[in-house]
Amino acid sequence: MTHTTVYAARKILTMNPRQPEATHVAVRDGRVLAVGDLERMKAWGAFDLDERFADRVLLPGFVEGHCHLKEGGMWVWPYLGWFERRGPDGRRWPGVRSMEAAVARLCEIDAEMSAAGRPADEPLIAWGFDPIYFGAERMTVEHLDRASRTRPIVVSHSNGHLMTVNSAMLRWAGITRDTDIVGVMKFADGEPNGELQEPAAMFPVQRKVGNAGLLAPMNDAGMQGFARIATMNGVTTATDLVNRLRDEDLEILERHAADASYAVRILPAFQAFHGTHGAADGARHVKALAARNSDKLRFGLVKMMLDGSIQGFSARLRWPGYFNGAPNGIWVTDPAQYEADFETYHRAGLLIHTHTNGDEASEAAVDAIGRVLERAPRPDHRHTLQHGQMIDAALFRRMAALGLSVNLFANHVWYWGDQHAEVTMGPDRAERLDGCRSALDAGVPLAIHSDAPVTPLGPLFTAWCAVNRVTPSGRVLGAAERITVSEALRAITLGAAATLKLDHEIGSVEIGKRADFSVLDDDPLAVDPMTLKDLRVRGTVLSGRVHDAPEL
Ligand SMILES: [Zn+2]
């Protein structure tokens, strides 16, 4: 006879509208067998009563619909971000608040590398830097040459779309005044200034250093670090929203997913980057992989990209363009190519997530997808726009009509809201930044995300951003776009699950679904919404297996 465990909790918030609250949940074979009070559990026969959560509040396991496994793997490199950040080992990295401090930290690391006997030409890779906080002063090759003129230095920007390198790295990559690649930025005199925007410009560097960002190969420590961060933040299902899915990537994913103690379910999304492979080959590859799906590893997602990053000025904006007069951004994929490739993946039956940051890119995606759906209608496709930060009410209504979902980058309101209001898009458009209210009002299925490691993984923080819309300077950015705590909790559970076409399996505590819970100290619906981000997460349950958050 199959074993049943009943967990008693102070409260269970189920996300099932027919039964929003409960005190007990029965788990059998890794799934939810019953939800309710102790009496209801008894109807299913014998069980063990487990009271370890008796003082805790259980929610469905949080679903992060847009993050990257690299959240666990970036920490082998020094962090150069503006905001303090905590690594998977609990180490706190203070924020870097001046160009001097950035150069000083790089000097220190260069010295540490030399003292450790590491080769003088081994590249120094740092990450998390964002020039937008530094006003008019832009990091260039000259700053980085002050840290070293001999050791190649690569500073990846937090948005993942840009990097700044020193002269040793420019030489090694063969980038000169004669290099004719879009995105290789130059001084007025024609010499490269060290800044490289978007994949084509960064490629000569990536080829030499073996990737310095989201696509750098994962290792075991990084996979474990990611699972630890997920558990600490209540996340039981997470995407790796761009993965090349080569043999070596599959090996590490499958090995960890098969380990019973691995604490998070992973959905890697295939990188549909035109130029490395054709869409038809890509679609065949992903379809074949889907046959290898297991509980903790699910293939079938495809990631496409249209433009770049707003704060990196590489996103494509509609009229009147950037508030500070910067030229319009970059089509990472030409819209016509996007439409053709999208159609190929769509016709193969795959679920496509498209990165669109600027409103011109979001509109181009909606235009293209609209035409593809006319040629090749498919019910319940669940195609999703990712980020969609500048989408307005009219575009959300078009998305609803096409059956598109959105996963909005709510963390931007905190991390870049002030910069968007003052520098990139100006106050009017910043008010609708990541417009959760408009999306829901238009009937567009909504998820919200961190894009970790771009910002830290933490669905409760993401929910806090969508609910309060406050910025570091203290402004409330677009009060009309705020959503309620319940709506935000839905967006980080059932909403995100729906964008992954997994809402029949996860996202609520409901009979038949996976026994995935996040374990909290308090009821998020009962606390002051301004403290939502401070709620303590004690761990998770994934398919019935308990994972305690490490004490750091
Ligand atoms: Zn991303």
Reported as a single tens digit per residue, the pLDDT across 63-113 is 999 999 999 999 989 999 999 999 998 889 999 999 999 999 999 999 999
pLDDT tens digit sequence for 347-362: 999 999 999 999 999 9
Q: How far is the centre of ligand 1, averaged over its atoms, from the C-alpha of 449 (Å)? A: 9
Q: How far is the centre of ligand 1, averaged over its atoms, from the C-alpha of 331 (Å)? A: 16
CB burial of 226-243 (b: ≥16 within 10 Å; e: otherwise) equals bbbbbbbbbbbbbbbbbb
Residue 49 within any structural domain of the chain: no
The share of the chain scoring above pLDDT 90, in percent, equals: 92
Q: How far is the centre of ligand 1, averaged over its atoms, from the C-alpha of 273 (Å)? A: 14
- Rounded CA separation 542/2 (Å): 18
pLDDT tens digit sequence for 206-248: 999 986 666 678 899 999 999 999 999 999 999 999 999 999 9
pLDDT bin (cut points 50, 70, 90) of residue 199 is confident
Strands 301-305 and 351-356: parallel
Number of domains in the chain: 2
- Whole-number mean pLDDT of the chain? 95
Which uninterrupted H or E stretch holds 229? helix 220-232
Q: How far is the centre of ligand 1, averaged over its atoms, from the C-alpha of 263 (Å)? A: 21
pLDDT of residue 212: 64
pLDDT of residue 215: 66
pLDDT of residue 216: 75
Q: Which amino acid is at 357?
A: N
Q: Are residues 277 and 169 part of one domain?
A: no
Average pLDDT over residues 33-58: 97
pLDDT of residue 159: 78
Q: How far is the centre of ligand 1, averaged over its atoms, from the C-alpha of 241 (Å)? A: 6
pLDDT tens digit sequence for 124-173: 999 999 989 998 889 999 999 999 999 999 999 987 788 999 999 999 99
In this structure, the number of other CB atoms found within 10 A of the CB of residue 39 comes to 8
Residue 537 clears pLDDT 90, i.e. is over it: yes
Q: Where a domain ends, among 159, 181, 209?
A: 209
Q: How far is the centre of ligand 1, averaged over its atoms, from the C-alpha of 499 (Å)? A: 15
End-to-end CA distance of the chain: 40
Q: Are residues 248 and 199 part of one domain?
A: no
Q: Are residues 486 and 395 part of one domain?
A: yes
Q: Where a domain ends, among 209, 229, 253?
A: 209
pLDDT bin (cut points 50, 70, 90) of residue 465 is very high
Q: Are residues 354 and 298 part of one domain?
A: yes
Residue 346 within any structural domain of the chain: yes
Say which CATH number the domain at 313 has: 3.20.20.140
Residue 5 within any structural domain of the chain: no
Q: How far is the centre of ligand 1, averaged over its atoms, from the C-alpha of 67 (Å)? A: 6
Say which CATH number the domain at 153 has: 3.10.310.70
Q: How far is the centre of ligand 1, averaged over its atoms, from the C-alpha of 159 (Å)? A: 8
Residue 319 within any structural domain of the chain: yes
What are the structure tokens assigned to 252, written together?
A: 């590490």
Q: Are residues 385 and 276 part of one domain?
A: yes
Q: How far is the centre of ligand 1, averaged over its atoms, from the C-alpha of 351 (Å)? A: 16
pLDDT tens digit sequence for 417-454: 999 999 999 999 999 999 999 999 999 999 999 999 99
pLDDT of residue 275: 64
Q: How far is the centre of ligand 1, averaged over its atoms, from the C-alpha of 19 (Å)? A: 34
Residue 327 within any structural domain of the chain: yes
Q: How far is the centre of ligand 1, averaged over its atoms, from the C-alpha of 282 (Å)? A: 19
Q: How far is the centre of ligand 1, averaged over its atoms, from the C-alpha of 242 (Å)? A: 7
Query: Is 346 exposed, middle or buried, given 0-12, 13-18 or 19+ CB atoms closer than 10 A?
Result: buried
Average pLDDT over residues 324-340: 96
Residue 20 clears pLDDT 60, i.e. is over it: yes
Q: Are residues 377 and 516 part of one domain?
A: yes
Residue 324 within any structural domain of the chain: yes
Contact 242, 214 (CB under 8 A): yes
Q: How far is the centre of ligand 1, averaged over its atoms, from the C-alpha of 216 (Å)? A: 14
- Rounded CA separation 161/169 (Å): 18
What is the 3-class SS of 207-218, one letter each residue? HHHCCCCCCCCC
Average pLDDT over residues 490-496: 98
Q: How far is the centre of ligand 1, averaged over its atoms, from the C-alpha of 366 (Å)? A: 19
- Rounded CA separation 500/228 (Å): 22
Residue 167 within any structural domain of the chain: yes
Q: Are residues 267 and 180 part of one domain?
A: no
Q: Are residues 496 and 381 part of one domain?
A: yes
Q: What is the DSSP string of 130-158?
A: -GGGGTT----HHHHHHH-SSS-EEEEET
Q: Are residues 232 and 163 part of one domain?
A: no
Query: Residues in the chain, how many?
Result: 552
Q: Where a domain ends, among 179, 209, 239?
A: 209
Residue 44 clears pLDDT 70, i.e. is over it: yes
Which uninterrupted H or E stretch holds 418? helix 417-419
Q: Are residues 290 and 201 part of one domain?
A: no
pLDDT tens digit sequence for 274-295: 666 799 999 999 999 999 999 9
- Rounded CA separation 200/204 (Å): 8
pLDDT bin (cut points 50, 70, 90) of residue 551 is confident
Residue 1 clears pLDDT 60, i.e. is over it: no
Q: How far is the centre of ligand 1, averaged over its atoms, from the C-alpha of 46 (Å)? A: 46
Q: How far is the centre of ligand 1, averaged over its atoms, from the C-alpha of 355 (Å)? A: 8
Q: Are residues 264 and 364 part of one domain?
A: yes
Residue 410 clears pLDDT 90, i.e. is over it: yes
Strands 517-520 and 57-60: antiparallel
Three-class secondary structure of residue 385 per DSSP: strand
Q: What sign has the CA pseudo-torsion 490, 491, 495, 500?
A: negative
Q: Are residues 424 and 288 part of one domain?
A: yes
Tell me the backbone φ, ψ of residue 237, rounded to 5 degrees: -130, 130
Q: How far is the centre of ligand 1, averaged over its atoms, from the C-alpha of 80 (Å)? A: 19
Average pLDDT over residues 2-15: 96
Q: How far is the centre of ligand 1, averaged over its atoms, from the C-alpha of 240 (Å)? A: 8
Q: How far is the centre of ligand 1, averaged over its atoms, from the C-alpha of 306 (Å)? A: 12
Residue 532 clears pLDDT 60, i.e. is over it: yes
Q: How far is the centre of ligand 1, averaged over its atoms, from the C-alpha of 66 (Å)? A: 6
Q: How far is the centre of ligand 1, averaged over its atoms, from the C-alpha of 386 (Å)? A: 8
Q: How far is the centre of ligand 1, averaged over its atoms, from the C-alpha of 522 (Å)? A: 30
Q: How far is the centre of ligand 1, averaged over its atoms, from the C-alpha of 414 (Å)? A: 17
pLDDT of residue 116: 95
Q: How far is the centre of ligand 1, averaged over its atoms, from the C-alpha of 21 (Å)? A: 34
Average pLDDT over residues 51-69: 98
Q: How far is the centre of ligand 1, averaged over its atoms, from the C-alpha of 451 (Å)? A: 5
Q: How far is the centre of ligand 1, averaged over its atoms, from the C-alpha of 314 (Å)? A: 15
Domain, as residue range, for 143: 76-209
